[in-house]
Structure formats: C-alpha cells, structure tokens
C-alpha cells in the first residue's frame, strides 16, 4: 500500500472530527491540536497532539494514530516480528540509521515548535520522540502516524505502510453519532502511544 495523501489543512479540527476520534479511541482524546492526516474514507486517522497535556504532563507522541482498523493491521505486523527485523537492519545499515536519525531530529524540532506555538515548556532534552527513534523500532503505530502526517520522513513508517492492507476499504471505521458493529477490528494494544 502506498501512503494515501490525505494530509489535513493545519488547524482544521471540527466537532465531527472530535466525535469520530472519541469513537475511534473509546475515550475523549487528550491534547489534540488538529488532524494531521485523514483516511481516504474522510475521517481522521492521525491527530496532532500537544507536547504537554492541559495539566502540564509531558505527552511525547505528537502524531497519534486513531483509526482502529489501521491500528489492528499494524498490530498484526508487530506481532509478526517486523519491529525486531527493522531494529536488526537499523544496527547493520548506516544509511538507514542516518535516515531514521533525521526522522527523529525532525520530529523533535516539530514538537519543540508546537510547544513554542502553544506557549508551553518544551519537553526535556533527551526525552523520547516516538516509536523508539532513533535507536530502535519500538512502536509501528507511532512511526506510521509520523509517516502519514509528514510523508517521506520516516523510513520505517513508510515500509510499514507499503505492506499494510487498505484499512479504509470497508468504509469508515466509525459513524459519528453511533457505533459501528465491527468492533472486532479494534486493537487495544496501543499503550505506547
């Protein structure tokens, strides 16, 4: 699968988007600053979050994957050992390591800029970025979210996207105002995000 180009205009986050993300996550989203990517079905599938929650708590996952179908498909890749294979390749391939380090540095710069824009203290130096960057591959959900939001940035996010099925093919994962009956497509293992 190639990355669907559905980047959202900056700052556009409607009440329907909030309702959709709440249904996708099964809870009210925290720290959302906008839609970072839209699924081809039209719903948000990645949201941009503040580096700190409203109470000041650090929240390092700037691009949060919300679509339960995408999350489930990514969980299948993780369960199949893809992260281990990627981490092994990272250790052996200097060019790949350099590209992944650039993704990490870009992520940190974006997160710091978002903190400045929001008027909050940036996260401490040395705090993780996302998905294990730059030293390992820990969470494909975060890496795919990063790649969807900023296409061409994250080499492992792009690799995962290329092997994912078209999670949107069945139509929207949720209907605003009611729950869908395909709850078996959800993945509750997104604790790293």
Q: What are the pLDDT digits (tens) for 57-78? A: 998 899 999 999 999 999 999 9
Q: How buried is residue 57: exposed, middle or buried, by Cβ count under 10 Å (0-12/13-18/19+)?
A: exposed
| Closest by Cα among 69, 66, 81, 67 to 137 | 81
Question: How far apart are alpha carbons 2 and 50 in whole angstroms?
Answer: 28
2 in any annotated domain: no
Count of domains in the chain?
1
189 in any annotated domain: no
Q: What is the pTM of this model?
A: 0.85
Question: How far apart are alpha carbons 100 and 24 in whole angstroms?
Answer: 29
- 184 has pLDDT over 50: no
Task: Report the percentage of the chain scoring pLDDT > 70.
Answer: 85
Contact between 137 and 83 under an 8 Å Cβ cutoff? The reply is yes
Q: What is the pLDDT of residues 103-148, one digit of tens each?
A: 999 999 999 999 999 889 999 988 888 999 999 999 999 999 999 9
- 189 has pLDDT over 70: no
Q: What pLDDT does 177 receive?
A: 65
82 in any annotated domain: yes
- 24 has pLDDT over 60: yes
7 in any annotated domain: no
**In the structure encoding, which two tokens stand for residue 117, read together?**
């824009």
Domain with 137 in it:
15-181
Q: What pLDDT does 8 receive?
A: 43
Q: What pLDDT does 178 receive?
A: 55
156 in any annotated domain: yes
48 in any annotated domain: yes
34 in any annotated domain: yes
**In the structure encoding, which two tokens stand for residue 193, read together?**
């995000």
94 in any annotated domain: yes
DSSP state of 123: P
Residues in the chain: 193
């Amino acid at each position: 699968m190639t990355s669907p180009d559905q980047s959202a205009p900056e700052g556009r986050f409607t009440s329907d988007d909030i309702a959709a993300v709440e249904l996708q996550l099964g809870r009210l989203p925290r720290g959302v600053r906008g839609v970072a990517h839209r699924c081809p079905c039209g719903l948000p599938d990645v949201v941009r979050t503040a580096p700190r929650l409203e109470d000041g708590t650090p929240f390092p996952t700037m691009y949060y994957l919300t679509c339960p179908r995408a999350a489930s498909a990514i969980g299948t890749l993780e369960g199949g050992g893809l992260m281990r294979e990627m981490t092994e390749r990272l250790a052996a391939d200097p060019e790949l390591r350099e590209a992944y380090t650039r993704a990490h540095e870009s992520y940190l710069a974006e997160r710091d800029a978002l903190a400045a824009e929001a008027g909050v203290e940036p996260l401490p130096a040395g705090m993780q970025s996302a998905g294990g960057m730059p030293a390992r591959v820990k969470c494909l959900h975060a890496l795919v979210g990063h790649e969807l939001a900023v296409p061409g940035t994250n080499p492992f996010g792009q690799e995962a996207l290329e092997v994912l099925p078209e999670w949107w093919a069945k139509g929207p994962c949720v209907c605003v105002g009611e729950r869908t009956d395909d709850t078996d497509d959800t993945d509750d293992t997104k604790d790293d995000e």
